[in-house]
Amino acid sequence: MWPIRGGLVAVATILAVAVLVVGLAWVFQRKLIYLPDPSPVPPAATVLPGGRDVTLTTADGLELGAWSFPPTGEPRGVAVLVAGGNGGNRAYRAPLARALTARGMSVLLMDYRGYGGNPGTPTEEGLALDVQAARRHLAGSGERLIYFGESLGAAVVTRLAAAHPPAGLVLRSPFTDLAAAGRIAYPFLPVESLLEDRFPVAATLPAVRAPTVVLYGTRDTIVPAELSQRVTAAAPGLVAQVEVAGAGHNDAVLLDGPQVIKAVTVLADRADPRTH
């Protein structure tokens, strides 16, 4: 009798711990998804020549800081809206802006709500409003727009592209949906049933007709290559699929490496009105 009772107590304890873990994961899920560096960033002019600090006003009334950089190479009439991943802030993406402006493109480095000293708390709907504000800022420039989304940002700009088609779309290390990426990071949790934010990239892409480049690293352990390959298969406007051999998710080669810059340049060439 005692062994049976002891076994039941052990099972009950394990179940209680499991319920507690799942409950905590549900309550704090956005702390696990969004990993902002909330530190204030320096003035744009100290980051790259000609940089300007700009303010983006969202539809729900937030004022978000962003950086605008003019081309330093021969202007192409193309602007790149850069939506970062779930970590850091826009200062982390300065090397990408430097490389793109040198090739004649304007660049807007935005930060989501809660990132880079911005007010607010990140959510899927909130990030959608943030990137819409960034697009509105660029829409009056007269330049053709390319959306560049990094990881989680790929989901953000895919949704934007379905509603407001760009001249080109770059998806760097995209996942099919957040649950698929979550199952990689937290295989012991029922991710699908817990998530409030979904980010359905592959399901949204069929509505996007813009010329699209998908690029990813073959040794990415955060968003494995097979997830990005499924995104590629869902893109009706696919121009190129670029595998960066041996690259992991946060490797510098996937920030401003030659394959990344070439991917954007290919779309810029298509979008440049002088080439048509």
pLDDT tens readout for residues 149-166: 999 999 999 999 999 999
In whole angstroms, what is the distance from residue 257 CA to residue 99 CA?
A: 9
Evaluate whether residue 8 is within a structural domain.
no
Q: Greater confidence, 140 or 171?
A: 171
| The one-letter amino acid at 223 | V
Average pLDDT over residues 241-260: 97
Does the structure show a pLDDT above 50 at 198? Answer: yes
Evaluate whether residue 252 is within a structural domain.
yes
Does the structure show a pLDDT above 50 at 120? Answer: yes
Q: What is the CATH number of the domain that holds 150?
A: 3.40.50.1820
Number of domains composing the chain: 1
Mean pLDDT taken over the chain: 89
Evaluate whether residue 16 is within a structural domain.
no
Evaluate whether residue 12 is within a structural domain.
no
| The one-letter amino acid at 266 | V
- Nearest residue to 32 (alpha-carbon basis) of 225, 221, 222: 222
Q: What are the residues whose beta carbons fall under 8 Å from the beta carbon of 85, sequence distance 6 or more?
A: 150, 151, 152, 153, 173
Task: Provide the 10 A C-beta neighbour count for residue 10.
Answer: 10
Evaluate whether residue 52 is within a structural domain.
yes
Q: Greater confidence, 31 or 148?
A: 148
pTM: 0.89
In whole angstroms, what is the distance from residue 202 CA to residue 155 CA?
A: 9
In whole angstroms, what is the distance from residue 34 CA to residue 111 CA?
A: 12
Evaluate whether residue 19 is within a structural domain.
no
pLDDT tens readout for residues 55-111: 999 999 999 999 999 999 999 999 999 999 999 999 999 999 999 999 999 999 999
- Tell me the residue range of the domain where 130 lies: 34-271
Does the structure show a pLDDT above 80 at 115? Answer: yes
Structure tokens at 91: 């200062």
Give yes or no for a contact between 114 and 121, defined as CB atoms under 8 angstroms apart.
Answer: yes
- What integer pLDDT is reported at residue 188 of this predicted model? 53
- Nearest residue to 156 (alpha-carbon basis) of 182, 175, 137: 175
Work out the pLDDT band at 31, boundaries 50, 70, 90. confident
- What integer pLDDT is reported at residue 136 of this predicted model? 97
Does the structure show a pLDDT above 80 at 24? Answer: no
Evaluate whether residue 14 is within a structural domain.
no
Give yes or no for a contact between 50 and 76, defined as CB atoms under 8 angstroms apart.
Answer: no
Q: What phi, psi does 26 have (nearest 5°)?
A: -70, -45
- What integer pLDDT is reported at residue 33 of this predicted model? 87
Q: Greater confidence, 18 or 36?
A: 36
Does the structure show a pLDDT above 80 at 126? Answer: yes
